Amino acid sequence: MQSLPIDGLFYIGLGTIFIVTTLLGFGIKRWTKQGMMGFYTLLATSLGLFFWLLLWFQEATRASFMGTIPWVFNSFFGTVLYLIFVGISYLILRRKHRHT
């Protein structure tokens, strides 16, 4: 049985963070009826989990002797994906429902 490579686990962790914090942010929006409160909750929890994931990735790559260039590439690409996620979440959660 072959296990996933460290960078594969990094992206699985990133996807898990996206799913969990999205559910939390939309739940807070529905509960408080304030979109920005949901976004701030999503931002705070996802930022904390993303930094934890980066620290884990650094330690895991150090233990598996991954080179510097793949680590930098994966960290940069993960950060770009995270920023896209935050931007899209902001645009969705700040929307006001119009009643006509």
In this prediction, residue 93 carries a pLDDT of 85
- Terminal Cα-to-Cα distance of the chain (whole angstroms): 58
Parts of the chain with a pLDDT under 70: 1-3, 96-100
Give alpha helix (H) positions in 1-100: 6-32, 35-63, 68-93
pLDDT (tens digit, 9 = 90+) per residue, 57-68?
Answer: 888 888 877 777
What is the model's pLDDT at position 98? 62
Report the distance separating Cα 66 and Cα 53, nearest Å.
16
Q: Is the pTM of this model over 0.95?
A: no
